[in-house]
Amino acid sequence: MQTGVLVGLIVLAGCDLVYGLHGRTESPSDAVGVDARVFPTMGDVQPGTCWSPTAMPLDEDSDTIADGCDNCPALANADQSDGDRDGVGDVCDPNPSYAVDEIVFFASMRTGSDLLEWTRRGGDWSFGVGLDGTECLRQTGSDPGVALALAMPAAIVGPTIEVQIRAVAPTNGTDADYSSGIRAMTGALADNPDGFGCDNFVLAGPDQLQLHRTAGGKQDEIVTASQPVGTASPYNLRLSTFPIVDGELRPPRCTSFKGTPADVSAPEPTTIELDVPVVPIEARVSMRTFALKADFRSLVIYGSRVGF
């Protein structure tokens, strides 16, 4: 299995998930907008274009659009509105004003999905009925000393990772530390893999949204927000390594939200950002738990259309 930039397609048979990458500029000297920090605001993806190269007949978000042709497969958007024409719908686009994103992976993580090619680091990862009675990917193992993780086999350019956490149950009592979250790993799978992480973290008190950078196996920068949106399941976590704000590439950021990011009736999302130099990355994606059983659903990974 290739461990660098994922080129072409990797299809995991027998499941409603797929990797799909389209054309992008790979050379930094040729990459549109990277050096000058001028990012395209309009793409050329035609309405109705299927992002998946293979049939994905399920409809995870019940918006009448099959997952493989749904430009927001995890969030309902029957009108498929895509203002910047990058193939990612407005309600889920990590950068809705800039045509820089594409869907590269989706897994509903209901019974029948399959992540056999992903690497496991401890834990008991399986598909079935979760703590709240819905179908999901369950992590039901317990090891109080280390993080339990499940990681994809290949790297993604400028990944944005989004997953729904349906329910959690601490394994060491509610007065102990526990967390669940996602990682963009630039190093090997480990207890603290190099790269960036976004967790819902409980430290014998109120929930925290925690974003951190890890280098050399040590977390050298941590940003937290107390009592974020998402203190009660289900909620969504999003880790963006390629966020663009007012035309500028920003450091990695972590968001916790309910509903959709654009849903004005939902609670205001909680977003935190690292204070680090902007360095676009290629990274593997992982989900993790610490001292916690957790149910995961609807994993979406977006990649950058703009090369580095």
CA–CA–CA angle 114, 107, 198 (5° rounding): 110
- State residue 59's pLDDT score: 92
What is the fold of 119-304? Answer: Jelly Rolls (2.60.120)
CA 80 from chain center: how many Å?
Answer: 20
The whole-number pLDDT of residue 263 equals 60
State the DSSP code for 196: E
Q: What pTM was estimated for this model as a whole?
A: 0.85
Which residues is 236 bridged to in the sheet?
A: 164, 257
Domain definitions of the chain by residue range = 119-304
Residue 213 contacts residue 255 (beta carbons within 8 Å):
no
Low-confidence ranges of the chain (pLDDT < 70): 1-37, 111-114, 116, 144-145, 173-176, 203-205, 229-233, 259-266, 308
- Termini Cα distance of the chain: 22
pLDDT of residue 267: 75
Q: What does the alpha-carbon distance between residue 306 and residue 171 come to, in Å, rounded to a whole number? A: 42
